């Protein structure tokens, strides 16, 4: 006899029909009468539940009582065509083993819609909901697609360090990392902290970006990418920021900003088409969920259905324009002339606010936009200085609703110019010697970008809060679970 567990996703397609199978999983819903019980179970392999039909007479009272929402069970029975209308197949239970009970008086999940805020509070259990099951499966598919995309293009994955001794990655506030006793910190004679006694013998932090390290690998391997966790200790309380998030950073030798843009656009379109191809069931569920949520809203606030929105990205080329051109458009725009912008446009040098980005993407071009050649003052030191001496070869990919999804640039590869930019940025030269060495020995043009993985997940799933697209969100005042 077959004693192997059948995954519910397989059972739902009728694999093993009319024969005995064993399924294991968690009860999502249980209902019935004195004679027959219908138990919906889920094992994570599919959005859909498998219906187990329980002939009450065949089971004792104590087993039946334990068939409550949240309990884990193993069911042995015949898989057959369902007599009911809601599903194609069902299992007629012959044997039920209770693997783990869940006291219905305490189990917090009900077979009904819960608010996302409530589910965040029970983050340890939220995987057991349809929504988070769908998000989890899509997230995995996106991770797989990312590695597949780069592998097919001949990239090498580089594990860049999570602990960094460099405090000049320049992307935000860092989390300090130390094994020193905080109640008894060793001090030097001048009163400053004596890091020579710390674990690494120097000041260390959690990385805010793998870019500088991945550039080192790029200067030998040509096409590389890093995909890892990054940490920002900014006190950001928004639906788009996390203290711990995952970032994909490709870096390509001999590429200019043009090829960098091409790569970014191709990459995003690949991932979105991968999701449409492999995650349709979960995407449809999330689309319907979103529709439900928007039901009460006025028509003009309702967004395009999720799947249409994803297809729309595939069907349109991203609009590419320079920062300077964008400023001109914004200056002449209706909201600017009518004083509708909270931050008015003041010519070249104005840093673009989210309201401006949103105007360009959602109102003016109505498609994704790549902005290039920003004023050097508002961008990072490693970006290549353009011939005008005013702008740098930066590129930001802006998406509807979420704003900046990718930030990248061609890198400054001229030794002297880079040195000068480091100086202007006020970064101590002695900390950057290894990075400067890449420009000293065999320097070549190269370019790369960073894609915030959870921002991508926001777009693909249509979720609106970034805390719901990462399994264990970390944000100010919260490191629970």
Partner RNA sequence: UCCUCAGUAGCUCAGUUGGUUAGAGCAUCUGACUGUUAAUCAGAGGGUCCCUGGUUCGAGUCCAGGCUGAGGAGCCA
Q: Looking only at residues 355 through 394 of this chain, which bind RNA when binding is defined by CB under 7 A?
A: 355, 358
Residue for token digits 């068939």?
67
Q: Which stretch binds RNA (CB under 7 A): 84-92, 262-270, 294-302, 384-392?
A: 84-92
Q: Provide the minimum distance between the beta carbon of 445 and RNA in the complex, in angstroms, as a whole number.
A: 20
Sole binder of RNA in the list 3, 18, 62, 115 (CB under 7 A): 115
CA distance 182 to 191: 15
Q: Report if residue 161 touches RNA, rule: CB under 7 A.
A: no
Residues 6+ apart with CB under 8 A from 210: 158, 160, 161, 226, 228, 230, 247, 249
Select 284 or 465, whichever has its Cβ closest to RNA: 465
Q: Is the dihedral of CA 354, 360, 361, 362 positive or negative?
A: positive
Sole binder of RNA in the list 5, 48, 64, 120 (CB under 7 A): 120
Sole binder of RNA in the list 14, 95, 99, 108 (CB under 7 A): 108
Q: Report if residue 84 touches RNA, rule: CB under 7 A.
A: yes
Sole binder of RNA in the list 10, 63, 74, 87 (CB under 7 A): 87
Question: Which residues in the 325-344 window bind RNA by CB under 7 A?
Answer: 342-343
Question: Which residues in the 267-326 window bind RNA by CB under 7 A?
Answer: none
Q: Provide the minimum distance between the beta carbon of 197 and RNA in the complex, in angstroms, as a whole number.
A: 30
Select 407 or 462, whichever has its Cβ closest to RNA: 407
Residue for token digits 């000068």?
420
Number of C-beta neighbours around residue 273 at 10 A: 15
Q: Provide the minimum distance between the beta carbon of 36 and RNA in the complex, in angstroms, as a whole number.
A: 5
Report the b/e string of 402-432 with b at 16+ CB within 10 A: bbbbbbbbbbbbeeeebbebbeeeebeeeeb
Q: Provide the minimum distance between the beta carbon of 174 and RNA in the complex, in angstroms, as a whole number.
A: 12
Q: Report if residue 156 touches RNA, rule: CB under 7 A.
A: no
Residue 446 has which token pair?
Answer: 């190269």
Q: What is the DSSP letter of 354?
A: H
Sole binder of RNA in the list 15, 63, 82, 273 (CB under 7 A): 82
Q: What does the per-residue mask of binding to RNA show for 19-58, with x meaning CB under 7 A?
A: ----------x-xxxxxx-x-x----------x-x-----
Q: Provide the minimum distance between the beta carbon of 190 and RNA in the complex, in angstroms, as a whole number.
A: 30
Q: Provide the minimum distance between the beta carbon of 216 and RNA in the complex, in angstroms, as a whole number.
A: 18
Sole binder of RNA in the list 21, 96, 247, 369 (CB under 7 A): 247
CA distance 195 to 254: 39
Q: Are β-strands 223-231 and 156-157 bridged in parallel, bridged antiparallel, or unpaired?
A: parallel
Q: Report if residue 92 touches RNA, rule: CB under 7 A.
A: yes
Q: Report if residue 250 touches RNA, rule: CB under 7 A.
A: no
Q: What is the DSSP string of 402-461?
A: TEEEEEEEEBP--HHHHHHHHHHTT--GGGGHHHHHHHHSS---EEEEEEEHHHHHHHHH
Q: Provide the minimum distance between the beta carbon of 246 and RNA in the complex, in angstroms, as a whole number.
A: 8
Q: Report if residue 105 touches RNA, rule: CB under 7 A.
A: yes
CA distance 169 to 167: 6
Characterise 272 by phi-psi region: left (phi > 0), alpha (psi -120 to 50), beta (else): alpha
Number of residues interacting with RNA: please give it, by CB under 7 A: 72
Select 53 or 279, whichever has its Cβ closest to RNA: 53
Q: Are 249 and 450 spatial neighbours (Cβ–Cβ below 8 Å)?
A: yes
CA distance 176 to 198: 12
Select 95 or 196, whichever has its Cβ closest to RNA: 95
């Amino acid at each position: 006899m077959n004693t192997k567990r059948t995954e519910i996703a397989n059972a739902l397609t009728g694999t093993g029909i009319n024969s005995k199978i064993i399924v294991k999983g968690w009860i999502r819903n249980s209902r019935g009468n004195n004679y027959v019980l219908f138990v919906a179970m889920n094992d994570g392999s599919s959005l859909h539940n498998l219906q187990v039909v329980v002939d009450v007479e065949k089971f004792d009272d104590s087993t039946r009582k334990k068939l409550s929402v949240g309990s884990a069970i193993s069911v042995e029975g015949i898989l057959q065509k369902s007599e009911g209308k809601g599903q194609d197949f069902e299992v007629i239970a012959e044997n039920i083993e209770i693997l783990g009970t869940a006291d219905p008086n305490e189990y917090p999940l009900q077979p009904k819609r819960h608010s996302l805020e409530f589910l965040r509070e029970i983050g340890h259990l939220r995987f057991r909901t349809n929504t988070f099951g769908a998000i989890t499966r899509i997230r995995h598919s996106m991770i797989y697609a990312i590695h597949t995309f780069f592998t097919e293009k001949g990239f090498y994955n580089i594990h860049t360090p999570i602990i960094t001794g460099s405090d000049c990655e320049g992307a935000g506030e860092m989390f300090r990392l130390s094994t020193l006793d905080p109640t008894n910190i060793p001090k030097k004679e001048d009163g400053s902290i004596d890091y020579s006694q710390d674990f690494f013998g120097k000041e260390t932090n959690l990385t805010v970006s793998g870019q500088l390290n991945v550039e080192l690998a790029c200067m030998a391997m040509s096409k590389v990418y890093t995909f890892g966790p990054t940490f920002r200790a900014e006190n950001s309380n928004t639906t788009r920021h996390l203290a711990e998030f995952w970032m994909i950073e490709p870096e390509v030798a001999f590429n200019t900003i043009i090829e960098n843009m091409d790569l970014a656009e191709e990459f995003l379109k690949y991932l979105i088409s991968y999701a449409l191809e492999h995650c349709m069931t979960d995407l449809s569920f999330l689309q319907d969920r979103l529709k439900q949520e928007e039901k009460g809203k006025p028509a003009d606030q309702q967004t395009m259905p999720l799947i249409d929105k994803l297809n729309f990205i595939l069907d349109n080329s991203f609009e590419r324009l320079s920062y300077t051109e964008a400023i001109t458009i914004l200056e002449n725009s209706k909201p600017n002339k009518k004083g509708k912008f909270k931050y008015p446009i003041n010519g070249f040098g104005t840093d673009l606010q989210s309201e401006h980005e949103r105007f360009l993407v959602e109102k003016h071009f109505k498609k994704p936009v790549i902005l290039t050649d920003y004023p050097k003052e508002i961008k990072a030191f490693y970006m290549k200085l353009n011939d005008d001496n005013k702008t740098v070869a930066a590129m930001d990919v802006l998406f509807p609703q979420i704003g900046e999804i990718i930030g990248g640039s061609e890198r400054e590869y001229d030794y002297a110019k880079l040195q000068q930019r480091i100086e202007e940025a006020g970064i101590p030269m002695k900390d950057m010697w290894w990075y400067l060495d890449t420009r000293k020995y065999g320097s070549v043009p190269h370019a790369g970008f960073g894609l915030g993985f959870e921002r991508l997940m926001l777009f693909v799933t249509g979720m609106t809060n970034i805390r719901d697209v990462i399994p264990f969100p970390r944000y100010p005042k919260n490191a629970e679970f």
